[in-house]
Structure 1
Amino acid sequence: MVSKELHFTKAAERLGISQPTLSHQIKMLEQEVGYPLFNRIGKKIELTKVGEIVQQEAMNIRSSIQNITSQVKALTKVELGELKIAVLPGEITDLVSNLCIQFSQLYPNIKVFIVTTDQVEKAVLENQADFGIGFHLNQYDMLQVTKLYDEEFYFISNQRNGNQKISLSSVLVQPLILFPSIHQCRKILDKTSYEMDRQIEPIVETSSIESILNLVRSGVGSSVVSRTLYEFYDTEGLFFQHIEEPSLTKAVYFMMKKNCFINYAARKFIKLLVSEIEKLQFHTEKSAITSLQNSLL
């Protein structure tokens, strides 16, 4: 307060103490530091260079104390605030969006923001999100990465087939209704078909999963969708087959900064996410899921 007012009497009044008491406290602090904190020029004062250092560090301490307070509040059952989740565009966005419906019903006072981006790692590292979910691409020392599950992609049609499996080459000759090329599922399909020296020419492209399912249900064509989408949406009247030769799978990862504080909202959402993954019986690495759950304790 003295460094702000540059006047002992005014600072004492702001603090609600006497001016001699304040002067005594400053003198004791100067003795502890070993150098004067203020230049006294008549009735005027100014910070010395040492005083500027002490002032800055005092501000840092004050900020740390405020951070401790906010973290302790977040650690307790304070169902307020906001949660930011970075996700890849595509089926992972749908997974998180569907979970947000459940989460909002349980915690209506917590605002959830879904940050859809192709650079999930960067969003987490730059504190644009509390955590991220995506297909891990780059290694960063500051990131803690946990494999959640293996995403499988199904071939779906409106015709029941006795064979539970179908080769990718057989899929590619079908009239296909697919997501646009910017969608993660489509990117994986395009990349794999390119490696097979094949080119995909869908008869319909749409970014709406409901439209894809309805068109397939109507017999317009077939499609390739992730198991996540197949599980989350109404697929009555539709049938799926596992794709092989090669199989289409992609590992899904949870990402957060190492040694970061996990606030109340994030803890509750992560628990909901893990619960949903286990309920859907995705192929998971139990040790990784257990490690993630332990980090929430």
Structure 2
Amino acid sequence: MEYFLMVSKELHFTKAAEKLGISQPTLSHQIKMLEQDVGYALFNRIGKKIELTKVGEIVQKEALNIQNSLQSISSQIRALTKGEIGELKIAVLPGEITDLVSTLCIKFNQLYPNIKVFVQSTDQVEKAVLENQADFGIGFEFNRDDMLMVTKLYDEEFYLISNQSTGEQKASFSEVLDSPLILFPNIHQCRKILDKTSLEVGRQLEPIVETSSIESILKLVRNGVGRSFVSRTLYEFYDTEDLFFQRIEKLTLTRSVYLVMKKNRFINYTARKYIELLLCEIERLRFHTEKDEIASLKSSIS
């Protein structure tokens, strides 16, 4: 399989043999043996050039899955036998969901300091998971795919935050639009939901300040520059004890957070530990969850 994958990558027997450190005749013989086992040709040979056959494409896809599973097994063994050494790769949507994942990484690093964590911020979370570039992904909406397992982690609402208390537990979305607002730019998922909601009430958001930094938003609110809408996730995961929050009367200001993994993929030690930590945080903060979906996820990573 290793020889086959190198040839399928290079599409050249001589180059593949050089990279593998073996002779070309040895490589050709190994490929012929694999073709005999499969029962079909894996490459079309056109002069000195080669290309994968349709059967070859299928074998390549499955061989990559096998290779990834072997790497996952090795990673888990290293983690268990060498002080939990390993890697964790997470794909997340750009914006505030990256803040959630990164903030949890602080606690994860305290528990597992020898594990390297890579957070990939991308609009193509599903692709990253399907192509084994990430152990799992977190985002707001995912297309249902036969090769993906999508689990709803929790539902969350949005808060209006300010530096002074109004004495009211709820605020009218329409009335808030007349006050100075500090918001994320319109490329952020949070802002997109706010823009959509404002259009539903026949208004348009006109923030006094736009910034992609949640720390800057909180600082500006603390100093009385204006108020802001933030998701409960951000409110809970950042230092906001000195701020006041109100729930929004507009019911459409809610969203769901999902975790996506590749079906039938081995869940390595590092991914399991991070997901377990994430689920503990969700339970601690009492987010609204679907108990059956959470139970299914726990079962799949146990």
C-alpha separation in 2, matches of 1:67 and 1:157: 48
Q: How many residue pairs end up in the alignment?
A: 252
Whether 2:203 is the aligned partner of 1:204: answer no
Residue of structure 1 in register with 2:32 after alignment: 53
State the Cα deviation string for residues 84-123 of structure 1 (Å, max 9, x = none).
1011122211111011111122222211111111221122
C-alpha separation in 2, matches of 1:174 and 1:80: 51
Whether 2:111 is the aligned partner of 1:110: answer no
Whether 2:283 is the aligned partner of 1:294: answer no
Does the aligned pair in 1 maintain the 2:95–2:189 contact within 8 Å? yes
C-alpha separation in 2, matches of 1:146 and 1:160: 37
Shift, 1:161, TM fit:
2.3
Matches within 5 A, 1:267-282: 267-282=272-287
Return closer, same or farther for 1:51/1:108 CA change in 2, 3 Å cut-off. closer
Return closer, same or farther for 1:57/1:145 CA change in 2, 3 Å cut-off. farther
Return closer, same or farther for 1:192/1:58 CA change in 2, 3 Å cut-off. same
State the SS of the aligned residue for 2:146: coil
Shift, 1:56, TM fit:
5.6
Shift, 1:159, TM fit:
1.8
Whether 2:238 is the aligned partner of 1:233: answer yes
Matches within 5 A, 1:61-140: 70-76=71-77, 77-78=80-81, 79-140=84-145
Provide the TM-score with structure 2 as the length reference. Answer: 0.76
What fraction of aligned residue pairs are identical, expressed as a percent? 67
Segments of 5+ residues of structure 2 without an aligned counterpart are 4-24, 39-58
Give RMSD over aligned pairs.
Answer: 2.8
Return closer, same or farther for 1:161/1:117 CA change in 2, 3 Å cut-off. same
Return closer, same or farther for 1:267/1:252 CA change in 2, 3 Å cut-off. same
Residue of structure 2 in register with 1:43 after alignment: none
C-alpha separation in 1, matches of 2:196 and 2:99: 22
Does the aligned pair in 2 maintain the 1:167–1:246 contact within 8 Å? no
Shift, 1:141, TM fit:
1.4
C-alpha separation in 1, matches of 2:213 and 2:258: 24
Return closer, same or farther for 1:147/1:66 CA change in 2, 3 Å cut-off. closer
What letter matches 1:123 in structure 2? Answer: A
Return closer, same or farther for 1:280/1:72 CA change in 2, 3 Å cut-off. same
Residue of structure 2 in register with 1:161 after alignment: 166
Does the aligned pair in 1 maintain the 2:68–2:132 contact within 8 Å? no
Does the aligned pair in 1 maintain the 2:181–2:226 contact within 8 Å? yes
Return closer, same or farther for 1:173/1:110 CA change in 2, 3 Å cut-off. same
Does the aligned pair in 1 maintain the 2:197–2:252 contact within 8 Å? no
Rg comparison, structure with higher value: 1
Does the aligned pair in 2 maintain the 1:158–1:219 contact within 8 Å? yes
Shift, 1:274, TM fit:
0.6
Q: Show structure 1 runs of 4+ deviating over 6 A.
A: 57-68
Residue of structure 1 in register with 2:262 after alignment: 257
Return closer, same or farther for 1:167/1:84 CA change in 2, 3 Å cut-off. same
Residue of structure 2 in register with 1:223 after alignment: 228
What letter matches 1:172 in structure 2? Answer: L
C-alpha separation in 1, matches of 2:90 and 2:65: 25
State the SS of the aligned residue for 1:190: helix
C-alpha separation in 2, matches of 1:145 and 1:280: 22
State the SS of the aligned residue for 2:134: coil
C-alpha separation in 2, matches of 1:91 and 1:282: 17
Shift, 1:142, TM fit:
0.9
Provide the TM-score with structure 1 as the length reference. Answer: 0.77
Shift, 1:144, TM fit:
0.2
Residue of structure 2 in register with 1:243 after alignment: 248
Shift, 1:228, TM fit:
1.1
